[in-house]
């Protein structure tokens, strides 16, 4: 039962990990992209569209090519979220629009766009339920190692996921190393801390902001893809993605802008997100009714607030947000 809980917690945590890693990369450049929920949503629906087109182009769905079934949705997802990242970068970096307003607009836009295409696809299929199922594609995305189920709890906790889950962890580790160890990562952090300094040091501030925001968006978009194809078994229904995008942004604060912490953090968040379903199993002697469960659902947010409070009180310089976060940079400004 505990193994099953951890398994579900990790499944819940992976989209958050993608979202948080993407947002950390973005925020390190000083761009506070509050559009991440929209970006992840668009990432998901783009993957769904890709998968839908591929599945429908096949005469016999059982003949689906595994490579294409994965690559097409994935490329569509990356492209969709890249476009969202580009829109955000263009508005905030080139036109120097307010980052908060732009981010919120991107979220509204992304969710609307996703629901529009989601609704259209459901209509095209003419399904009885308001959802669209891409079971063929999902099969490839959620395929885990064949012997995982023979290894008991070990297999269930560590080996029972689709490849995107492992990709999320690899991306988080690579990002962490990139930020900490490489010269380019140093430059990126400088851009987020103090763009005027970075500029004076000969770093192309605009390029760093664009690239990190776009790459960050693509990473976050994969979270949306993972959610539909693996977690939800290929079933897209509008608004099912819920508040996971906001949770990913909360996770960024929770992990004090460190992608390697985000790996553990995402699992904790994932666990907190679903723990209300398990309370009655874990503690059968304490009855928990529906309304209490709703209260428990807010645990990740409460913890994020607590982390913010503790961090602000400790005032350790290394655990503060990038100093220029949310500010536009213009060289000739004075």
Strands 132-133, 235-236: pairing kind: antiparallel
Please report whether residue 187 would count as binding other proteins according to CB under 8 A: yes
Task: Give min distance, CB of 103 to other proteins, in A.
Answer: 22
Task: Give min distance, CB of 15 to other proteins, in A.
Answer: 30
Comparison of 156 and 193: residue with beta carbon closer to other proteins: 193
Q: Which of 58, 104, 186, 327 binds other proteins (CB under 8 A)?
A: 186
Comparison of 35 and 192: residue with beta carbon closer to other proteins: 192
Helix (H, G, I), strand (E, B) or coil at 225: helix
Contact 223, 12 (CB under 8 A): no
- Of 9-17, 153-161, 290-298, 318-326, the window that binds other proteins (rule: CB under 8 A) is 318-326
Please report whether residue 151 would count as binding other proteins according to CB under 8 A: no
- Of 122-130, 186-194, 213-221, 228-236, the window that binds other proteins (rule: CB under 8 A) is 186-194
Task: Give min distance, CB of 318 to other proteins, in A.
Answer: 6
Task: Give min distance, CB of 322 to other proteins, in A.
Answer: 9
Find, among 43, 35, 39, 38, the residue nearest to 92 by Cα.
35
Sign of the Cα pseudo-torsion (88, 94, 97, 98, in order): positive
Find, among 301, 214, 244, the residue nearest to 14 by Cα.
244
Q: Contacts with other proteins: how many residues (CB under 8 A)?
A: 23
Task: Give min distance, CB of 212 to other proteins, in A.
Answer: 16
Please report whether residue 293 would count as binding other proteins according to CB under 8 A: no
Comparison of 290 and 315: residue with beta carbon closer to other proteins: 315
Helix (H, G, I), strand (E, B) or coil at 40: helix
- Of 56-64, 108-116, 163-171, 314-322, the window that binds other proteins (rule: CB under 8 A) is 314-322
> Between the CA of residue 138 and those of 64, 133, 211, 237, 268, what are the distances in Å?
12, 9, 30, 15, 26
Backbone angles phi, psi at 257, to 5 degrees: 60, 35
Please report whether residue 183 would count as binding other proteins according to CB under 8 A: yes
**Long-range residue pairs from 91-98, CB within 8 A, at least 24 positions apart, any chain:** 92/31, 92/328, 93/31, 93/206, 93/209, 93/210, 93/213, 93/328, 94/206, 96/328, 96/330, 97/328
Find, among 24, 17, 89, 97, the residue nearest to 322 by Cα.
24
**Binding to other proteins in span 189-228, by CB under 8 A:** 189-190, 193-194, 196-203
Please report whether residue 156 would count as binding other proteins according to CB under 8 A: no
- Of 41-49, 135-143, 158-166, 188-196, the window that binds other proteins (rule: CB under 8 A) is 188-196
Q: Which of 95, 264, 292, 323 binds other proteins (CB under 8 A)?
A: 323
CA dihedral 246, 252, 254, 260 (to 10 degrees): 140
Reported as type and span, the H/E element at residue 235 is strand 235-236
Comparison of 128 and 332: residue with beta carbon closer to other proteins: 332
Gap between the Cα atoms of 309 and 315, Å rounded: 10
Task: Give min distance, CB of 329 to other proteins, in A.
Answer: 12
Comparison of 60 and 332: residue with beta carbon closer to other proteins: 332
List residues near other proteins by CB under 8 A: 183, 186-187, 189-190, 193-194, 196-203, 315, 317-318, 320, 323, 331-332, 334
């Amino acid at each position: 039962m505990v193994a099953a809980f951890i398994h579900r917690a990790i499944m819940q945590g992976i989209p958050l990990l993608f979202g948080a890693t993407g947002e950390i990369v973005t925020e390190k450049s000083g761009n506070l992209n509050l559009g991440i929920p929209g970006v992840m949503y668009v990432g998901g629906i783009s993957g769904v569209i890709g998968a839908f087109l591929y599945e429908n182009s096949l005469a016999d769905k059982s003949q689906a090519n595994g490579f294409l079934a994965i690559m097409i949705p994935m490329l569509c997802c990356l492209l969709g979220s890249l476009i969202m990242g580009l829109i955000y970068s263009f508005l905030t970096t080139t036109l120097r629009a307010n980052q908060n307003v732009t981010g919120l607009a991107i979220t509204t836009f992304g969710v609307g766009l996703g629901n529009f295409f989601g609704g259209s696809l459901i209509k095209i299929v003419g399904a009885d339920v308001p959802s669209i199922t891409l079971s063929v594609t999902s099969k490839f995305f959620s395929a885990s190692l064949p012997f995982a189920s023979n290894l008991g709890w070990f297999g269930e906790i560590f080996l029972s996921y689709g490849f995107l889950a492992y990709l999320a962890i690899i991306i988080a580790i690579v990002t962490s190393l990139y930020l900490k160890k490489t010269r380019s990562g140093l430059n990126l952090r400088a851009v987020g801390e103090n763009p005027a300094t970075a500029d004076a040091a000969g770093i192309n501030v605009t390029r760093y902001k664009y690239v990190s925001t776009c790459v960050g968006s693509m990473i976050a978009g994969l979270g949306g893809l993972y959610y539909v194809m693996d977690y939800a078994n290929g079933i897209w229904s509008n608004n099912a993605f819920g508040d996971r995008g906001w949770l990913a942004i909360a996770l960024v604060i929770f992990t004090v802008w460190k992608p390697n912490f985000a790996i553990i953090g995402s699992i904790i968040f994932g666990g907190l997100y679903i723990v209300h379903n398990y309370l009655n199993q874990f503690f059968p002697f304490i009855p928990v009714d529906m309304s209490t469960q709703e209260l428990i659902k807010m645990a990740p947010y409460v913890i994020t607030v607590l982390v913010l409070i503790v961090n602000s009180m400790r005032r350790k310089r290394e655990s503060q947000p990038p100093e220029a976060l949310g500010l536009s940079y213009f060289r000739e400004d004075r």
